[in-house]
Amino acid sequence: VGKTSLARALAESIDGTLQRIQFTPDLLPTDVTGVQVFNRGTDEFEFRPGPVFANVVLADEINRASPKTQAALLEVMEEHQVTVDGTPR
């Protein structure tokens, strides 16, 4: 309870958004970074951003995630960008 309350207070203090990610062994990198979704109406792919696009991200139980999912989170932290389908965002 303390971690979430602190993260929520931090997000509110900067008038930002908060996203919490509960890492599990079956969590995919796209669940963290976002995904391209095909829109039949426009016949184009649209990007749906993942929780790492929030101002404050609470990542819980990172050690339970697969190495690929951990690498996706580390890319965001180190490079300050997300790569989805080979496109940096």
Domain ranges of the chain: 2-82
Q: To the nearest whole number, what is the mean pLDDT of the chain?
A: 94
CATH superfamily membership of 2-82 = P-loop containing nucleotide triphosphate hydrolases (3.40.50.300)
Q: Which of 26, 21, 25 is nearest to 64 (CA)?
A: 25
Is the entire prediction scored with pTM above 0.75? Answer: yes
Residue 24's pLDDT is: 97
Distance of alpha carbon 75 from alpha carbon 83, whole angstroms = 8
Residue 81 has pLDDT above 80, yes or no: yes
